[in-house]
Amino acid sequence: MCPIDWVFSALLATCVPAGEPPEEVLRTEIYTHARSPLDGRKLTAAEYVLLQESLREELSNSEATLSPHLRHLIQLLRVRKMLQDLTPL
């Protein structure tokens, strides 16, 4: 190991809090609790899945109830955004 590696490892050791688990452990951790995206209250994993499904259904139903004029405007805005991304100005 070269001296530069020692410096970087010393800097890393000072940056990571002692009580916090390493990132490798956190990546393999299975989440058994979550927070509601609506109001931030704690949910169990099963409640979170049910909430996500109901929100997905609500979103699909809300798109079906849009007026044709509003749907057309949204489509035009999406086309405009795509054209702005493609054309350099």
Q: Taking CA 73 as the corner, what is the angle to CA 69 and CA 74, rounded to the nearest 5 degrees? A: 120
Tens of pLDDT along 64-77?
677 889 989 999 99
Residue 83: pLDDT band (50, 70, 90) is very high
What's the average model confidence in pLDDT over 1-26? 66
How many structural domains comprise the chain?
A: 1
Boundaries of domain holding 61 = 3-86
Q: What is the dihedral of CA 29, 35, 41, 43, to 10 degrees?
A: -60
Tens of pLDDT along 40-49?
888 888 888 8
Per DSSP, the three-state class of 30 is coil
